[in-house]
Structure 1
């Protein structure tokens, strides 16, 4: 579908939902091969609210190819829904589309041209917030699997700001800091499951996440190992083999990221393309000190983008209105003999959402979480510790609302992890830091 046609649908979505007669429209869309008989069954399901079914139809039609908009306009006209068609097109455009539209009562030919767009109107304000700010915010968020209002379709351009001085030096408070000066800085494993064989929906927009993370970590100085659409057996093999790579002994860090659907039971599980579950804890265990001696005493960072359940976070109205959000970190203490290495240490584990909750994904720009990581890391990794950056990531997520007003909270776990700076652009063999 043409970009301007998509914008017309997205910009006027609430008006289209309010005015459309769904029952008469659906069969016409089938007749014009915009949808198949099987595809339209969900729009006819009387157990679902009518507005929800209409909204899903208009969002889905944007993905139905270059002729879908023309078929939509023709269907609206042939079912006498002229006002809805007028919202989407100028009066001269139906001639281009081969559609004749009837004028509304009282229209002259010149006046009819002006009936092209209805303003974007929110059905109700979010409690506790100014309506104007919320309207702008909702208009600038992306449609994610029929639930988030579109922010545009251009992917993020990742450009990392390089460091001018090394930050991996002890602080005045004597906090231990990881050395980060090797070339490459580390090895980065990325597994991105997009399409599934077991009926799980395709993760539209996941390719953008992969491109963004690859660009980010290449600019941060990492060697990339990227894989797509792996079965359970393939996921296990690639993760195990990556953990055993001898080159880990030559670099200063390691990053592992898995992007997929996810389920929550007793623990968080990632879904393979053949519909099996892989425990997040199994992934992490491949890098514990006994299993991966090449990475002992080196920072190991895990980034998991997946749902961790089905619950949606709709937020709460604060008892006292606050002007600033404050994120608190997590502290841990472990008591072991100093002559031994702990089983798990030097690990930082970041999750896109809380246990039990869904994780939002924009079909054009990728997941909220990966977008926030890339935006934060590219601007702040030159002088900011990674835990502070993960707090910044969650602050970005705190300003995201879906169309049905659901939100998202990221989290991370520190398992014996010290201060860590990426030092982008600075290496031990660089004359600038010798």
Structure 2
């Protein structure tokens, strides 16, 4: 596909995902050779109408130079004239040629780039054989490593067709448990977490908007945290597509085999993140087998403070410099040297128990996580906004990368930094439900 046509699709992606009805296009797309039957079957299996629209647009970008004008024509034939006009208005003058008569249209094949030398092109004698343009190397100097650089996808490279999307169209989509520990017992020697209720309210509203049943539990002791997680694992999730657990508390670093860190109850005893995830793994919770289990941890991973490193002045961004910033850490209880434990025996021909799990941490293991007592934590504030602005068009892993970038720009007390991150064992792309 021509680069300008790709840009038109990308600029109108939100409108296409929101308004496009793919079901009315499949027969024509197959008839005109834009997609193969296997590609259409793959799009149909991606989930909801919005998921199918998103997959269709992505696949369309990988097709030949005739794909875009044919797509416009098929939109008109299916009665989606408004979308066709929107895309047509975005095309540079003279770039769109009328579609050829049906009998003269070549069947579009997946595009390997065909490099044609000038001498070979002069000898070309078969007029009907399409010659694909050669993508010329970019001769502009490479940007320095500390600059933002977005590498374009090479022309003709097919999308990662092996990546499918999780089914996320059940209503409600799933259960979301939020454990919000704010007021800690004196014997715990942990300070109250002012501002955590702001985080809790934001996430409760956000996941309700994403069509989850949200349950909030406040100020739980260690044993109560385990009881709530056990109760969640024993519920029947067969009618749901996903499960979310959000932990808002103090944290520390502990020995682990898969997932670092631990979260404290208000009594000062902790539950390792590894144990938290185990409650919902494929063995302990059969009704969630093969379904995404998402864990969001707003807690410190240790007591180290990251002072960052110096970047050029033009890279400096406005940063948070709050006098009310606090951390969610207590001193480290033990090291994480067990990361180097020997490999387990090879997996059987089944899904591993830890598959379909994603754990998103507010901070890098071993480091503190910053929270503003008036506005809430950096991580939750950013996560909530990114989900609101991008859930309609982007998958979860992409959005978490956006969160990582934005939080990394903040600065506590003009000095300390924070770097969120994820342990990702998902097997497919995950797109949340959003209102059309």
**TM-score bucket of the superposed structures, by smaller chain:** 0.5 to 0.7
The partner residue of 1:342 within 331, 345, 352 is 352
Deviation at 1:364, TM superposition (A): 1.2
The yes-or-no answer on 1:167 pairing with 2:160 is: no
CA distance in 2, matches of 1:390, 1:419: 13
For 1:354 and 1:244, the matched residues in 2 are separated by 31
Name the residue aligned to 1:377.
387
What TM-score do the two structures reach when normalised by structure 1? 0.56
Q: How far apart are 1:379 and its partner, in Å?
A: 0.5
- In 2, are the aligned partners of 1:163 and 1:423 still within 8 Å (CA)? no
C-alpha distance in structure 2 between counterparts of 1:283 and 1:411, whole Å: 18
Question: Where does residue 425 of structure 1 map in the other structure?
Answer: 435
Q: CA deviation at 1:186?
A: 1.0
Matched, 1:249 2:133: no
Alpha-carbon distance in 1 for matches of 2:425, 2:382? 23
1:405 maps to 2:394: no
Q: 1:418 to 1:203 in 2, by over 3 A?
A: same
Partner of 2:401: 391
Describe the shift of the 1:424–1:233 C-alpha distance in structure 2 as closer, same or farther (beyond 3 A).
same
Structure-1 residue corresponding to 2:303? 310
Partner-residue secondary structure (3-state), 1:420:
coil
Partner SS state of residue 250, structure 1: coil
Q: 1:232 aligns with which of 222, 239, 243?
A: 222
Q: Does 1:300 align with 2:293?
A: yes
1:109 matched residue in structure 2? none
Q: How does 1:146-225 map to 2 (within 5 A)?
A: 163-164=18-19, 166-167=50-51, 172-174=159-161, 175-197=163-185, 198-225=188-215
Cα distance in 1 between the residues matched to 2:316 and 2:401: 14
- Partner SS state of residue 350, structure 1: strand
Gaps of 5+ in 1: 1-161, 326-333, 427-434
| 1:163–1:424 Cα contact (<8 Å) kept | no
Moved over 3 A (4+): 162-165, 168-172, 320-325, 334-339
> Matched residue of 1:424: which SS?
coil
Shift of 1:167: 2.3
- Pairwise CA RMSD: 2.5
Q: Which of 241, 257, 273 is matched with 2:266 structurally?
A: 273
Q: C-alpha offsets along residues 121-144 of structure 1, whole Å, 9 cap, x if unaligned?
A: xxxxxxxxxxxxxxxxxxxxxxxx
Query: Do the aligned partners of residues 240 and 392 (structure 1) sit closer, same or farther apart at CA in structure 2, a change above 3 Å counting?
Result: same
CA distance in 2: counterparts of 1:336 and 1:265, whole angstroms? 26
CA contact (8 A) 1:344 1:416 kept: no
Q: CA deviation at 1:264?
A: 0.9
TM-score of the two chains, using structure 2 as the length reference: 0.55
Deviations 1:214-243 (A, max 9, x none): 000000110011100001111000011012
Q: How many residues end up aligned between the 2 structures?
A: 256
